[in-house]
A and B are shown apart, each in its own frame.
Chain A
Amino acid sequence: MRFVPVTCEQRERMLASIGVPSVDALFAPIPDEARLGRPIALPDGLSEVELAAELEALAAQDVSGLVSFAGGGCYDHYVPAIVDAGGSKPAFCTAYPPYQPEVSQGTLQAIYEYQSMVCALTGMDVANASVYDGATALAEAALMAARVTRRERVVVSGAVHPEWREVLRTYARGGTIEVVEMPVFDGVTDLDALGGLAEGAAAVIVASPNFFGCIEDVRAACACAHDAGALAVVAVNPIMLGVMEGPGALGADIVVGEGQPLGNPVSFGGPGLGIFAAREQFLRQMPGRIVGRTVDVDGRPGFVLTMQTREQHIRREKATSNICSNHSLNALAAAVYLAAVGSRGLAGIARACLAKARYLHDALLQTGRFEPFSSAPFAHEFALRYLGDVASMQAALLKRGYLAGVDAGRIDDGLARVVIFAVTEKRTKAQIDAFVEEVASL
């Protein structure tokens, strides 16, 4: 495929106008010793027909369309048709970040509305335009808490997704924060152990629902953080906020989350979006882009990127983060999704997930193949201990067209035989019954 519209004859004219004999002359500053001196060793280009066939063949090597009970931070919710129709328009896709607000009101207003919806969901005052994903949102929250409190130690619950905790440790390699983990008891954070750990900490970080799907005592965790002078950081699942209280009302200072469940496909784990919201008093320490509403010179309403003195292009090494983008298209999809489902729809979807997860949980226990992992209440996801070999169980069910949960032992060595099941509104009773029957027959 070729996307260069300039013709050979035009190239000659352009060279003449520049006053050089050849295109090569323009590359004269490249020292000889560094030059490639051979063609690029990649296959020649393809026509669109050939390319489409090759990509379709690659995609066909993947097994899609499985009946999925897998979650673990990436969820198979229904994506309404309006999400792609509204959010993937070329004028949104092919635009740069909205640094010229006069011709970027579409992106800006859409992101302002996204921020508004995130505030509504989380019960927080301010939200940014999104960051890369939930895990990096969590790491950024820890760095922000360290700036706010001028402390270094962050205390993270061992029930936070193992990959998110690992990302936090990677971000800590720069030496600006130190990460300590809170023990887990019966599938939830052991808050009795928190008191001592929180002392002198910058942040206390919990997720609810947590990696095991269990509901944490967010109010108590926040109170414990505040008693120690730390910020309370709470990770959420945005769908479940349809029926769960926003952490803002429970004492959270920063709320983060993975926004993929809101209208974004699973897409092998990316791109999703990192939800990031905070109390207004911490606004100037927030990372990432923020859109604000204002007026133009004629008094017409309009939107701009604002509070930019926090950001790298102004503040350089003193910026609140090096982030220079947001997951704008994914945030747009999330906004269209939330508009499409509305308050009642989101509550209904969350409630369906809750009921179906409970239904599957009870049915799986009845097969006698599992034992409980936790006695804590759970939302749309739950962990069970399998009384056999998880890998062969999953392989057998895969052959029958099921993605039988997430093998937690593959993600965290300490969780051997623990399987985490997620159930979305897409799963029907018939599918769940058939799945349980297959499990029972193993």
Chain B
Amino acid sequence: MSEVAARRDLGRLIFETGAPESACVEPPELDVPDVDPASAFGDAVRQSPLMLPHVTEGEIARHYERLARLNFGVDTGFYPLGSCTMKHNPKIAERACRLDGFAGIHPYQPEETVQGALRLMHGLQEALAELSGLPAVTLQPAAGAHGELAGLLVIRAYHESRGDARRRVLIPDSAHGTNPATVAMCGYEVTQVPSDERGGVDVAALRDALGPDVAAIMLTNPNTLGLFDENVMEVTRLVHEAGALAYYDGANLNAIMGKVRPGDMGFDAVHINLHKTFGTPHGGGGPGAGPVCVTQALAEFLPDPVVAKEGDRFSFVRPARSIGRLRSFSGNFGVLVRAYAYIRGVGGDGLAEVSEQAVLSANYLMARLKGVYDLPYDRSCMHEFVLSAARLRRAHGVRTLDIAKRLLDFGVHPPTVYFPLIVDEALMIEPTETESLETLDAFADAMLAIAREAERDPELLHGAPYTTPVRRLDEARAVKEPDLAWRPRTPDAHEEA
């Protein structure tokens, strides 16, 4: 019945709910002399009618309950979205970040009144330094892409401090789109480096691409194919020989904890996605956090502030030659609390198990699926792997998108599709360590069933999904006739009512 209720008012907006006289929260009675806004603001006073919803608390409660039922989260079902690490988000972390001592403190409170928060941040810095193998840490960046911006600006400041103007950044062709976009924001040019036949960086091509104008390479290892690049030491050595630095995109850290660290692979800077490896919720888009860890040589350029410990007292300090602030205040503190809770709860021993199980589960699924789907790089994977539906497309005209949409009918969130770009009809699958064998098997069974459907009845797949609240949406229309905000049909009528 609840599903029926959720679907009944499909698309009905909160603006179309309630009555003009309805209200949920009223401000308290004014206990000081009123001030007429017009006298305070002159012609900056609001004259246009304000068109916010008018609803009761009950209507709001039902509205968002209905919307939640139209959503799919990790708490709903299996979410093998490659490169996103959709693991279980521990509930204790949600409770912790709401504690009044964390949620109720102001960023400009004197440091002696926020020693708990600073101690937590310092502890998180230390943990990330240990896991990355890089000693200096900033928690400021708000997301992975923001961490990339921090890291690359730090690298730029380092080169500039040596009077060494460099202009290019090398990026493998399997890289995530944020890497080249970040390079552009930092005023550098992108030089793409091809992958070799084993899916790693083509070392010969790297040698050719390197030169005195190269500032850095941005690398993910394991890369976006889910493969560990065996030549990584050679890659970072060549980069350093050319006077460039090595940046590590920590998106795939969940694969290697306890086995190998970016610092030990020769990387100079790394960002870590707390919302991937450390179980903070993705929130349907954010907030996440993208702390950056760097070598001692880069530490003085880190964004302001970092947390320092002196005796038993913690304080914010500005690194000596800081690139400056990258956002207001000190970071997405609520996310930092969750990540700290995760790391303390799971512990050093547990984190090693996390990576082992994540890799084992991925290899298990890959073994179950590789006979039926194409595996472009047939070697053991790390925490994720990439399949191709190219054969199904050629034989039956079924595309990766069709497979993804059909999976929705099996109650599974689809893998990442059409990424990385170097694999035709790519399906990028990351099961994570928090899924049971039963769940993994059910997913493999669904994938195999869909492959059989593709053979028997390709049309069935072209039309999928059938069981979701809405079916395939008209994206072309969304672009051609942009409807990006609700507007009242007759504003005056709304106001007068």
Other 14 A-B pairs with CB < 8 A, given A136-B142, A429-B32: A4-B357, A45-B349, A55-B341, A68-B106, A93-B89, A105-B469, A132-B332, A167-B326, A174-B156, A270-B328, A297-B472, A314-B177, A321-B185, A343-B51
Residue from the set B95, B437, B465 with the largest chain A CB neighbour count within 10 Å: B437
Q: Which of B11, B53, B57, B120 makes the CB contact (< 8 A) with A58?
A: B120
Q: Are A170 and B471 in contact (CB-based, < 8 A)?
A: no
Q: Are A328 and B106 in contact (CB-based, < 8 A)?
A: no
Q: Which of B23, B88, B285, B469 makes the CB contact (< 8 A) with A342?
A: B23
How far does the Cβ of A221 sit from chain B's closest Cβ, in whole Å?
11
Q: Are B232 and A31 in contact (CB-based, < 8 A)?
A: yes
Indicate if A185 sits at the interface (CB-CB under 8 A): no
Which of B202-210, B260-268, B387-395, B446-454 is found at the contact surface with chain A?
Answer: B260-268
Q: Which residue of A lies closest to B409 (CB)?
A: A102
Q: Which residues of B contact A91 (CB under 8 A)?
A: 68-69, 71-73, 75-76
Indicate if B161 sits at the interface (CB-CB under 8 A): no
Indicate if A373 sits at the interface (CB-CB under 8 A): no
Q: Are A306 and B37 in contact (CB-based, < 8 A)?
A: no
Interface code B141-166, partner A: CB below 8 Å = 1, 0 otherwise?
Answer: 01111101100010011000000000
Q: Are A26 and B283 in contact (CB-based, < 8 A)?
A: no
Interface code B331-354, partner A: CB below 8 Å = 1, 0 otherwise?
Answer: 111110100010111111111111
Indicate if A52 sits at the interface (CB-CB under 8 A): yes
Q: Are A307 and B352 in contact (CB-based, < 8 A)?
A: no
Number of residues of chain A lying within 8 A (CB) of chain B: 217
Q: Are A35 and B102 in contact (CB-based, < 8 A)?
A: no
Q: Name A16-71 residues within 8 Å CB distance of B.
A: 17-20, 23, 25-31, 33-36, 39-46, 48, 51-52, 54-66, 68, 70
Q: Are B325 and A218 in contact (CB-based, < 8 A)?
A: no
The CA of A65 and the CA of B102, in the complex, are separated in Å by 11
Knowing A116-B485, A339-B53, the reply to whether A243 touches B434 (Cβ < 8 A) is: no
Q: Are A80 and B24 in contact (CB-based, < 8 A)?
A: yes
Q: Which residues of A contact B350 (CB under 8 A)?
A: 1-2, 44-45
Q: Name A313-346 residues within 8 Å CB distance of B.
A: 313-319, 321-330, 332, 335-336, 338-346
Q: Are A94 and B106 in contact (CB-based, < 8 A)?
A: no
Indicate if B470 sits at the interface (CB-CB under 8 A): yes
Which of B111-119, B238-246, B292-300 is found at the contact surface with chain A?
Answer: B111-119
How far does the Cβ of B313 sit from chain A's closest Cβ, in whole Å?
12
Q: Which residues of A contact B64 (CB under 8 A)?
A: 86-87, 89, 110, 336
Which of A193-201, A225-233, A287-295, A364-372 is found at the contact surface with chain B?
Answer: A287-295
Q: Are B259 and A96 in contact (CB-based, < 8 A)?
A: no
Number of A-B contacts (CB under 8 A): 725
Knowing A39-B349, A173-B323, the reply to whether A342 touches B55 (Cβ < 8 A) is: yes
Q: Are B474 and A294 in contact (CB-based, < 8 A)?
A: yes
Q: List 21 A-B contacts (CB under 8 A).
A: A6-B357, A13-B437, A26-B359, A44-B348, A59-B116, A86-B63, A91-B76, A103-B408, A104-B72, A120-B51, A133-B327, A174-B153, A174-B186, A243-B41, A268-B330, A297-B471, A321-B181, A325-B144, A340-B60, A343-B54, A410-B108
Indicate if A394 sits at the interface (CB-CB under 8 A): yes
Q: Name A74-112 residues within 8 Å CB distance of B.
A: 74, 76, 80, 82, 84-98, 100-107, 109-112
Knowing A89-B64, A268-B333, the reply to whether A175 touches B472 (Cβ < 8 A) is: no
Q: Which residues of B contact A100 (CB under 8 A)?
A: 72, 404, 408, 413-414
Indicate if B493 sits at the interface (CB-CB under 8 A): no
How far does the Cβ of A309 sit from chain B's closest Cβ, in whole Å?
8
Q: Are A116 and B486 in contact (CB-based, < 8 A)?
A: yes
Q: Are B11 and A300 in contact (CB-based, < 8 A)?
A: yes
Q: Indicate the size class of the contact surface on chain B.
A: 35 or more
Q: Which residues of B contact A103 (CB under 8 A)?
A: 70-72, 408, 413, 468-469
The CA of A13 and the CA of B278, in the complex, are separated in Å by 27
Q: Which residue of B lies closest to A102 (CB)?
A: B468
Q: Are A129 and B146 in contact (CB-based, < 8 A)?
A: no
Q: Which residue of A lies closest to B437 (CB)?
A: A10
Indicate if A428 sits at the interface (CB-CB under 8 A): yes
Q: Are B232 and A283 in contact (CB-based, < 8 A)?
A: no
Indicate if B50 sits at the interface (CB-CB under 8 A): yes
Indicate if B4 sits at the interface (CB-CB under 8 A): no
Indicate if A223 sits at the interface (CB-CB under 8 A): no
Indicate if A191 sits at the interface (CB-CB under 8 A): no
Q: Are A268 and B285 in contact (CB-based, < 8 A)?
A: no
The CA of A347 and the CA of B414, in the complex, are separated in Å by 44
Q: Are A270 and B333 in contact (CB-based, < 8 A)?
A: yes
Indicate if A183 sits at the interface (CB-CB under 8 A): no
Q: Which residues of B contact A243 (CB under 8 A)?
A: 37, 41, 45-46
Q: Are B469 and A339 in contact (CB-based, < 8 A)?
A: no
The CA of A246 and the CA of B42, in the complex, are separated in Å by 14
Knowing A117-B52, A120-B52, A218-B44, the reply to whether A82 touches B114 (Cβ < 8 A) is: no
Knowing A90-B73, A93-B89, the reply to whether A39 touches B348 (Cβ < 8 A) is: yes
The CA of A79 and the CA of B145, in the complex, are separated in Å by 30
Q: Name B437-474 residues within 8 Å CB distance of A.
A: 437, 463, 465, 468-474
How far does the Cβ of A160 sit from chain B's closest Cβ, in whole Å?
11
Q: Which residues of A contact B272 (CB under 8 A)?
A: none
Q: Which of A93, A133, A250, A428 makes the CB contact (< 8 A) with B281?
A: A93
Q: Which residues of A contact B79 (CB under 8 A)?
A: 96
Residue from the set B40, B54, B120, B230 with the largest chain A CB neighbour count within 10 Å: B40
Indicate if B286 sits at the interface (CB-CB under 8 A): yes
Indicate if B107 sits at the interface (CB-CB under 8 A): yes
